[in-house]
Amino acid sequence: MQLQMIAFGGAVGVGLFLGLGEPLNAVGPGLVISYLVVGVLVYLLMRALGEMTVYRPTTGGFVSYAREFVGPRFAHLTGWIYVTVALLVGIAEISAVGVYTAYWFPGAPAWLSPLVAMALVFGTNVLTVRAFGLVESVAAAIKVIAVLLFLVVGTLVVVFGGSATPDASVANLWEGGFLPNGVWPVVLVMQAVVFSFSAVEVTATAAGEARDTARSMPKVVRGVVFRLGLFYVGSVLVLAMLLPTGRYSADESPFVTALASLGVPHVGGIMNAVVLSASLSGVNAALYATVRLLRNLAAHGSAPKATVTINSRGVPAGALVFTAVVYLAGVLLILFADAGAIFSLALGAASVGILLGWMSIFVSHLRFRARVRDGLIAGAGFRMPGSPYTDWCCLAVLAVIFGSLVLDSDTSYAGLIATVALIVVHGATYEIARRRVARNGLPDVTPAGQVGT
């Protein structure tokens, strides 16, 4: 159950609670099409990851599979792309904290609440390795209850609200046009939808630490993907019925906007508290993914040696400190721009990395299936349906989404520039890492306090 909560909590965060506002405004009710397409993509991604995880559970997750089935250079590139993504997602979640707290304290410094949130999450994780699972389970439970209540209450308001809620109507789905701005925005917004589902891959990382992966992983994949589809698609439909989609924006959580429009005292503030807790959960999930990936990379010589350090309590202290420094830099950026601008910047940059990271998972799975077909390794009972054809179809869809980043007038060639920069930088760091390992060997991964025992 905790593994399901970790997977669910990782994928339900700022992308749903804050990032849904702008796409609703841009696309209209037809945004549900984008979520359905990406939802199918996520299901197949999870099946591919699930098959490899059942074959060989590992705390290194998809980076380990990239190393085993493709090669060390590809693993280095995949790992650092995902570290970059996880860091950007964490910064986006921290920035969202600033947006949410402005609801109650509009005059407070924009950097203060993100700094407090960062200290809270890092302080908890430094204490014990069990903190992540506990915090994520509680936060995910809050998200589940909140979204379920919203879907139920929102549906009841639409059906029985009558004259008391004149803006709420099923007719909102088509009166202003199901796709008021045409079909192209459905494609353009998919990069933001991909971001919404980011961190669902953390399931594979967490599964490497589970007791019975072969039994738990299939249940987790099926259950999590179904719930994600219900929550995201359901939320889009209910939000679109409660208010005309032109009323939503990136400046406030669409859930808060919709509930505040009902005129019920304090309900907007209560929902804002829920989405604030969701952001803290998102920071926690991004932190979990970052430190595990960093330690896996460091163990193979692809990250700074200090990030492999584990203290006597089993806490990956070196990777935590590295991540804290980067997050602190993100908080400092809020001094020069508002929290909403930093959120949008981090979201756009992270989307590029997520697309590349998902592509790498499908490439690794293609190589895994090729080895199974050649009889070089034993297959897993939990197979991805339709492989290798579904792998190629997913890669094609991801390529189209990435192409839309390049063609979008708002992002211009930023996506292409970011991709080239990522590949060049991490390609160069691989050569540095390879030479360092050849000269000094791999680092010692023995936890502190166990050396010589």
Q: List the CATH number of the domain containing 78.
A: 1.20.1740.10
In a domain, 448, yes or no: no
Domain that holds residue 9: 2-440
Quote the mean pLDDT of the chain: 79
Q: Which two tokens stand for residue 382?
A: 């939990």
In a domain, 447, yes or no: no
Residue pair 80/324 in contact (Cβ under 8 Å)? The answer is no
Percent residues over pLDDT 90 in the chain? 8
Give me the pLDDT at residue 88, please: 80
Give me the pLDDT at residue 265, please: 67
Give me the pLDDT at residue 452, please: 41
The predicted-structure confidence for 367-379, as pLDDT tens digits, reads as follows 999 999 988 888 7
Return the amino acid letter for 100: Y
Q: Say whether pLDDT at 424 is over 70.
A: yes
In a domain, 449, yes or no: no
In a domain, 446, yes or no: no
Q: Say whether pLDDT at 42 is over 80.
A: yes
In a domain, 452, yes or no: no
CB neighbours of 251 closer than 8 A, spacing ≥ 6? 21, 99, 340
Q: Say whether pLDDT at 392 is over 90.
A: yes
CB neighbours of 287 closer than 8 A, spacing ≥ 6? 86, 90, 121, 122, 125, 132, 320, 323
Give me the pLDDT at residue 390, please: 95
The domain total for the chain is 1
Give me the pLDDT at residue 371, please: 92
| Residue 7: band (very low, low, confident or very high) from pLDDT cuts 50, 70, 90 | low
The predicted-structure confidence for 182-217, as pLDDT tens digits, reads as follows 888 888 888 878 877 776 776 655 555 556 666 777
CB neighbours of 348 closer than 8 A, spacing ≥ 6? 191, 411, 414
Percent residues over pLDDT 70 in the chain? 81
The predicted-structure confidence for 247-265, as pLDDT tens digits, reads as follows 888 777 788 888 777 776 6
Q: What is the mean pLDDT of residues 102-121?
A: 82
Q: Which two tokens stand for residue 430?
A: 């691989």
Give me the pLDDT at residue 393, please: 95
Q: Say whether pLDDT at 158 is over 70.
A: yes
Give me the pLDDT at residue 205, please: 57
From residue 270, give the alpha-carbon distance in Å to each of 146, 168, 275, 391, 401.
Answer: 10, 20, 9, 42, 36
CB count in 10 Å sphere of residue 79: 29
In a domain, 445, yes or no: no
Helical segments of 213-253, H only: 213-242
In a domain, 450, yes or no: no
Q: Which two tokens stand for residue 444?
A: 């010692």
d(CA 247, CA 243): 7
Q: Say whether pLDDT at 274 is over 90.
A: no
DSSP 225-292: HHHHHHHHHHHHHHHHHHS-GGG--TTS-HHHHHHHTTT-TTHHHHHHHHHHHHHHHHHHHHHHHHHH
Instruction: Choose the most confident range, by mean pLDDT, from 73-87, 308-322, 437-451.
Output: 73-87
- Tell me the pTM: 0.81
Q: Which residue has the higher pLDDT, 271 or 115?
A: 115
Q: Say whether pLDDT at 417 is over 50.
A: yes
The predicted-structure confidence for 309-361, as pLDDT tens digits, reads as follows 777 777 777 888 888 888 888 788 777 776 666 666 776 677 778 888 899 99
Q: What is the mean pLDDT of residues 136-159?
A: 81
Handedness of CA 267, 104, 325, 89 (dihedral sign): positive
Q: Phi first, then psi: what are they for 189, rounded to 5°? A: -80, -10
From residue 268, give the alpha-carbon distance in Å to each of 94, 114, 264, 350.
Answer: 21, 21, 8, 29
d(CA 48, CA 46): 5
In the block, tokens 């008391």 appear at 164
Q: Say whether pLDDT at 55 is over 80.
A: yes
